[in-house]
Structure 1
Amino acid sequence: MDSATIERWIKSLGRPYETLIAEGAIPNQSLAELYKGRDWLTMEPGRGMELSFWAETKCLETIHIVLLKTMEGMTEYKGELPRPFAPVMVQSGVRATFGEPIESKGPTKLPLNTMIGGWDAYRLDPATHPNIKVIFTYAETMQVKTLTFTLIDKGHD
């Protein structure tokens, strides 16, 4: 995978699965349902990457990119990222680059006695990425574990 492909996906947030397939923007893979009745359908176009589509409309809503493996069975993305994102980032560097987050949460204990270092959310430039934000999820070390690009207003609950 390369940075141009990821940037194309980010700009494609909110667009239908069938259109993205027809344009060659995403691989021609079937969407998977983790369990019956789930609101999202997903595809994994590469190691450490997941695209999530709203089940009702099949519109692309979220892109997850795992940069740091923190659990057994996870895979990491090892390819290029669009600027100004980098494969290895820590919270202090994220805040120096992006400024004050629009939303933030500190360290949190998850089920199965797992800890995360929290997360920060930033709105992307509305001129080039309208209605899109990025969420940096941190490991306990405050290194960026996951990049999540998602719609701000999804048009549903």
Structure 2
Amino acid sequence: MSAVTIEAWIKALGKNHDELLAQGVHFKRPPKALYPDCDLVDMAPEVGISLTFWAETKRLETLFVTLKKSTPSTVEYKGELPAPYESEMTQSDVHALFGEPMESTGPIKMPQPMGQTGGWESYPLDPAIYPGKKVVFQYTAAMEVKTLVFTLIDKGHD
């Protein structure tokens, strides 16, 4: 997947599945729920990339880009990323690029197979280009960026 395609997915956050189809976006499979009556449906357009839609409205709410393997079943994305994102980033790099986060949670210990994490930090994206969107950096215990999470600031539900 190209950096341009990822950029297009970020801009598509907030649009519903039908709007995306009408704009010419093609999906190999429709989004699927992890279990019956789940509020979210997911799809993986490429290895290491996951899209999450709100089941009720089919609105695209979150784009996950996995950069580091954190569990045995985790698959890393190996393609291009839009600037300023890099496949190898640390918390220090993020702070140098984005400054102080708007939200954060420190390191926590999760049940196995995840184990110790480095927490996460979120930053609003440029409102002129990405209105109502933010990026969340999830960290490994060594404070390397594990996952880039692009999502809506206000999803309108819990």
Shared fold per TM-score greater than 0.5:
yes
Q: Would you say 1:131 and 2:132 are equivalent positions?
A: yes
**Partners of 2:51 and 2:64 within 8 A in 1:** yes
Q: Which runs of 5+ in 1 are unaligned?
A: none
1:111 is displaced (CA, Å) by 2.0
Which 5+ residue runs of structure 2 have no aligned equivalent? none
What amino acid is aligned across from residue 31 of structure 1 in structure 2?
P
Instruction: Give, in angstroms, the shift of residue 79 of structure 1.
Output: 0.4
1-side partners of 2:79 and 2:108: how far apart? Answer: 28
1:50 corresponding residue in structure 2? 50
In structure 2, the residue matched to 1:120 is 121
Percent identical residues: 51
Aligned ranges 1:1-157 → 2 under 5 Å: 1-112=1-112, 114-157=115-158
**Bigger Cα displacement from structure 2, 145-154 vs 14-23:** 14-23
Letter in 1 for 2:22: A
**Conserved 8 A contact 2:28-2:45:** no
More displaced stretch, 122-131 vs 13-22: 13-22
| TM-score, length-scaled by structure 2 | 0.95
Helix, strand or coil for the counterpart of 2:116?
A: strand
| Alpha-carbon distance, 1:71 to partner | 1.3
Query: 2-side partners of 1:129 and 1:92: how far apart?
Result: 24
TM-score, reference length from structure 1:
0.96
User: Deviation string for 1:70-98 (max 9, x for gaps)?
Assistant: 21111000000011101110000000000
Q: Is the 8 A contact 1:9 1:25 kept in 2?
A: no
Kindly indicate whether the alpha-carbon contact (under 8 Å) linking 2:135 and 2:149 is maintained by their aligned counterparts in 1: yes
For 2:143 and 2:26, locate their aligned partners in 1 and report how far apart those are by CA, in whole Å: 31
